Structure 1
Amino acid sequence: MIQDLVAGLSLGGLYALFALGIALIFGVAGIMNFAQGAMIAVSAYVLFGLADLPWPLLALATVVSGIVLAVLLEAVVFRRARGADQTTLLIMSFGVGVILQAALVLIAGSEPHSVTFGASLNKELVISGLSIPRIDLLTLVTAVVLMVALGTFLRRTTMGIQLRAAAEDFRMARHLGVRVNRVMLATFALSGLLAGVSAVLITARSGTLSPTMGFEPVLVAFVATVIGGLGSIYGAAAGGMVLGLLTILLQVVLPAGLQPYRDAILFSIVIFVLLVRPEGIIPTARAGTRV
């Protein structure tokens, strides 16, 4: 039971990181950034390409690559489309994701690659007679630390307060003197950081990577963001945790005959939740208008 709870919290923490990467950019810029998955994949391939480095430097380089890529995308692509309608921005983000994925195929090929990074983390740690995979503990601790750090940044720093203000009412924040370019760069940088960390954790958990590895994370992130409340940063984290816990719960309680339908049952529950509370778990003032 405790092992299942840790597994659920670990998966929920990972899903929360996915969702936060999407929610930050959507909340501030109004972009449902489907390129986030490709950013995760690019960061994972940086890890693959620098595999000879000591693992602390390797993890750091992977995270930095996510930040650099996100900042470049904001400065080169999305800044030029600022003020466009959400449909245009959505299509642009999807296009950027396709281009990044195609670039990975061109450079590294379309076949999956195996990596040894994090192999020791998949061994189990015995605590008071309980066997818990080390990667689950690492994922959970990393997710909690990042969420606490992000919450502290948003509440206690000038840039964080400006970012929250922009997420609540971008036009008003602009009129009050918030420097738009700085806020946008900070938002994309945070999203890139989360993409890099996600790449490290996914690669360590699975031991494989492919150009399409970002598809599932971005789908999960979108669903978690909708559950939490579109535009709500804290709601995205809550939505990710709920989705992860539900996934493991269904895996535990469903009989063997229903296991193949786990995801269908999971999304049925998600649909029911949205029917009951369409604005999400923690809605924002703009959530309804953005939908």
Structure 2
Amino acid sequence: MLRILPLLCLVLLVLTGCGIDADQDVLCRKLIPAFESGPVTELSTRSYAEDRRVLRIDYRSGDQRHWIACRFAGTGMEEGRHTLVSVATDRTGWLTDMRFAMLQQWLRIKPPRDAGGAAPAAGRAPPTRWTPVLFLVQQIVNAATVACVYGLLALGYTLVYAILGQINLAMGELTMLGAMLTAMAAAGLGMAGWATWPPALLGVLVLAMGFTAVQGWTMDRLVFRRLRGVRSHTPLIVAVGLSIAYQEGVRLLHGARDWWPAPVLTERFTLLSDGAFTVTALMMQLAILVLTGGLYAALWGIMQRTAFGRAHRACTDDIAAAELVGVDVNRTVAATFAIGGGLAATAGAVIALYYGGVNFFTGYLIGFKALAAAVVGGIGSVPGAMLGGALLGLVETFWSAYFALAYKDIVAFGLLTLFLIFRPQGLLGQARGRGD
């Protein structure tokens, strides 16, 4: 399985895509002149993580940045894929029915016909026999970035669980901290004119990883080290308390508003097209997969070839015996929390720079989904964490594409429930036999 995993990552790297419908993007961009009298530049498109029917286009008009959002009646190959139902801008919010009707008149959008008399949109070829295949390919590539987010955070969960046999539910909030810090730093880079400079973005990532690594180390030093010998559910309850404390602390310091960093690495490529459906890819997607693959390779090398990796494996096998043979357990556990925090920050940086819309509550649901990925892959197994993230990303993306979007979270946690019932150790996990 370990030999197959790099090949899987390579395949995902080749197939990666942004999941943006090119036809919807073109239609939404046609609306910008209705709100801007002058030329616009630096256009970039992103989709909303929670509602794939909505596209948001960021652009610059003169010396100011603006955005426009378009909601369509469907996604993918659904019937309403090219039917615009509402529009919002940063200055007006969602348009009222009257203003939207006037916008439709301005764009000369005709109301859709009934199912029996619908005709293909002008300039768009009818579906071919390859359209369903291209749509399937697009869904595979859509899952790549989601899998990276879940996999990186699942690594943090699995490293801590492997050494302590405890789940740190506050790991999701470390992702939130990384996302918020990345968003604020990106805003500062934008004011300095460095928002798209790769070395500056890399510096932001290092800053976020370092900050959350310190937070992870502090969690262990001040909280979990004191509870290491406790046999009750106290550590789990304390982790929930830490999670709430981080959420409320960030909310009080920065408010409940969403942060939308300016999009970066927005070059888009057309991978495949049959005239009716286009598979597209963003440079940002390639960067995310390269980053994830590099971090996974670095972690694998650390775990297999360094003194810390040997100490971690010894503590995983039997923490009491490891201490008897001279392993510095406290330092090993603290370093594990720090590494987990750094990986969580990377997941947060991906969320902030690719999806946007981060706030104090960002890490809550993402954290539980990453925990589900870790359990499915085999919590305690480093390759299992990445495999679980890939599987969960595929399941969630496919469900969103082919079925009702509102049920995707139910499916994700339903998958976790099934694994807990029929295979508690996960795909690559093993039953724990610890002496602590």
Q: TM-score, normalized by length of structure 1?
A: 0.88
Conservation of the 8 A alpha-carbon contact between 1:7 and 1:136: no
- Structure 2 CA distance for aligned equivalents of residues 248 and 154 of structure 1: 31
Conservation of the 8 A alpha-carbon contact between 1:168 and 1:285: no
Q: Per-residue displacement from partner, 1:98-134 (whole Å, max 9, x unpaired)? A: 1111111111012222222xx0335523347652133
Higher strand share: 2
- Structure 1 CA distance for aligned equivalents of residues 284 and 139 of structure 2: 14
Corresponding residue SS for 2:429: coil
Deviation at 1:148, TM superposition (A): 1.5
**Which residue of the other structure, out of 213, 216, 219, is the alignment partner of 2:368?**
219
Q: Per-residue displacement from partner, 1:33-60 (whole Å, max 9, x unpaired)? A: 1111111112222223333243232222
Superposition CA RMSD, Å: 2.4
Return 6-15 or 269-278, whichever deviates more. Answer: 269-278
- Structure 1 CA distance for aligned equivalents of residues 244 and 414 of structure 2: 29
Conservation of the 8 A alpha-carbon contact between 1:231 and 1:283: yes
1:54-65 matched pairs, under 5 angstroms? 54-65=200-211
Higher helix share: 1
Q: 1:62 to 1:143 in 2, by over 3 A?
A: same
**Which residue of the other structure, out of 190, 212, 221, is the alignment partner of 1:66?**
212
The amino acid across from 2:269 in the alignment is L
- Structure 2 CA distance for aligned equivalents of residues 33 and 175 of structure 1: 26
Q: 1:46 to 1:272 in 2, by over 3 A?
A: closer
Q: 1:10 to 1:113 in 2, by over 3 A?
A: closer
Corresponding residue SS for 2:233: helix
Deviation at 1:78, TM superposition (A): 1.8
The amino acid across from 2:210 in the alignment is V
1:104-253 matched pairs, under 5 angstroms? 104-116=250-262, 119-127=263-271, 130-252=279-401
Conservation of the 8 A alpha-carbon contact between 1:3 and 1:132: no
Q: Per-residue displacement from partner, 1:164-222 (whole Å, max 9, x unpaired)? A: 22123222222222111110121011101101111110101222211010012211121
Matched residues, percent identical?
28
**Which residue of the other structure, out of 43, 59, 68, is the alignment partner of 2:178?**
43
Conservation of the 8 A alpha-carbon contact between 2:153 and 2:175: no
Corresponding residue SS for 2:281: strand
Deviation at 1:274, TM superposition (A): 4.0
- Structure 2 CA distance for aligned equivalents of residues 11 and 4 of structure 1: 11
- Residue matched to 1:96: 242
- Structure 2 CA distance for aligned equivalents of residues 81 and 133 of structure 1: 45
Corresponding residue SS for 1:62: helix
- Structure 1 CA distance for aligned equivalents of residues 223 and 337 of structure 2: 12
- Residue matched to 2:44: none
Conservation of the 8 A alpha-carbon contact between 1:122 and 1:133: yes
- Residue matched to 2:43: none
- Structure 2 CA distance for aligned equivalents of residues 289 and 261 of structure 1: 41
Deviation at 1:267, TM superposition (A): 3.7
Conservation of the 8 A alpha-carbon contact between 1:6 and 1:136: no
- Structure 1 CA distance for aligned equivalents of residues 347 and 233 of structure 2: 27
- Residue matched to 2:161: 26
Conservation of the 8 A alpha-carbon contact between 1:230 and 1:280: yes
Unaligned runs of 5+ in 2: 1-135, 190-199, 274-278
- Structure 2 CA distance for aligned equivalents of residues 188 and 272 of structure 1: 29
Conservation of the 8 A alpha-carbon contact between 1:40 and 1:196: yes
Deviation at 1:62, TM superposition (A): 1.2
Conservation of the 8 A alpha-carbon contact between 1:229 and 1:287: no
Conservation of the 8 A alpha-carbon contact between 2:369 and 2:413: no
Conservation of the 8 A alpha-carbon contact between 1:279 and 1:288: no
- Structure 1 CA distance for aligned equivalents of residues 231 and 256 of structure 2: 34
Conservation of the 8 A alpha-carbon contact between 1:224 and 1:240: yes
The amino acid across from 1:5 in the alignment is I
Conservation of the 8 A alpha-carbon contact between 1:221 and 1:240: yes
Q: Determine which structure has more spread, i.e. the larger CA radius of gyration.
A: 2
- Structure 2 CA distance for aligned equivalents of residues 152 and 279 of structure 1: 24
Q: 1:112 to 1:223 in 2, by over 3 A?
A: same
Conservation of the 8 A alpha-carbon contact between 2:180 and 2:352: no
Corresponding residue SS for 2:157: helix
Return 168-177 or 180-189, whichever deviates more. Answer: 168-177
Q: Per-residue displacement from partner, 1:144-178 (whole Å, max 9, x unpaired)? A: 21111111111111111211221232222222221
Conservation of the 8 A alpha-carbon contact between 2:384 and 2:427: yes
- Asked which structure has the greater RCO (Cα within 8 Å, sep 6+), the reply is 1
Q: Per-residue displacement from partner, 1:222-262 (whole Å, max 9, x unpaired)? A: 1112212233333222211211122223334x25xx34333
- Residue matched to 1:76: 222
Conservation of the 8 A alpha-carbon contact between 1:224 and 1:243: yes
Conservation of the 8 A alpha-carbon contact between 1:23 and 1:236: yes
- Structure 2 CA distance for aligned equivalents of residues 214 and 125 of structure 1: 31
- Residue matched to 2:81: none
